[in-house]
Amino acid sequence: TGTDLPRHTANIRPVDCPFTGETLTAVAALRPDVTVVHAQRADRAGNVQLWGITGVQKEAVLAAHRSLVTVEEIVGELTPVPGQVMLPGWAVTAVAEVPGGAHPSYAQGYSVRDNDFYRAWDAVSRDRDTFRAWLDRHVHRAGAAA
């Protein structure tokens, strides 16, 4: 209650609480076709290890029909890290080794946040031609420069 969102989407509906009778607002669970996240390490069996500020990466992978996890490195054995989150291989569809794949964000223990990129992004994203030029340089031709 207290929102007009149910008028705009079928994924939000009022429900009566079976315990109190109070009217609550229910939101349907998201079930993405594909989730793509970046982590620090994976082993050869597809188990993934991530740590730091992980947000809802684990939940996003578990909710999706399929998942791609890019990692800083693939290792022979995952050694424990304080505060780690583990994604079991059975929950991960594919793993790709992509060092630096978190850029412009960071992967704790592997890279640092690119603050200059974040500061510049606002101007890039506001202008269609500037954004298209950025896409061409950093996405469409990124592999050609390697």
pLDDT tens column, 14-58: 899 999 999 998 999 989 999 999 999 999 999 999 999 999 999
Let me know whether 129 and 84 are in one domain.
Answer: no
Let me know whether 134 and 74 are in one domain.
Answer: no
Report, as an integer, the average pLDDT of 1-8.
Answer: 82
Residues 81, 51: contact at Cβ < 8 Å? yes
The amino acid at 57: Q
Let me know whether 109 and 41 are in one domain.
Answer: yes
Let me know whether 136 and 120 are in one domain.
Answer: yes
User: 101-135, pLDDT tens digit by residue?
Assistant: 999 999 999 999 999 999 999 999 999 999 999 99
Let me know whether 36 and 106 are in one domain.
Answer: yes
Q: β-pairing, 85-87 with 48-50? A: antiparallel
d(CA 107, CA 40): 6
Packing angle of the helix pair 115-126, 128-135 (nearest 10 deg): 130
Within the chain, where are the H helices? 57-63, 115-126, 128-135, 142-145
Length of the chain: 146
Let me know whether 38 and 71 are in one domain.
Answer: yes
Residue 140 belongs to domain spanning: 114-146
Q: Which single residue is written with the structure tokens 């229910």?
A: 26
Q: Which single residue is written with the structure tokens 């200059």?
A: 116
Comparison of pLDDT for 64 and 1, the residue scoring more: 64
- pTM of the predicted model as reported, rounded to 2 decimal places: 0.79
User: 57-108, pLDDT tens digit by residue?
Assistant: 999 999 999 999 999 999 999 999 999 999 999 999 999 999 999 999 999 9
- Per the structure, how many domains does the chain have? 3
The amino acid at 67: S
Instruction: Look at residues 82, 83, 71, 81 and name the one whose alpha carbon lies nearest to residue 47.
Output: 71
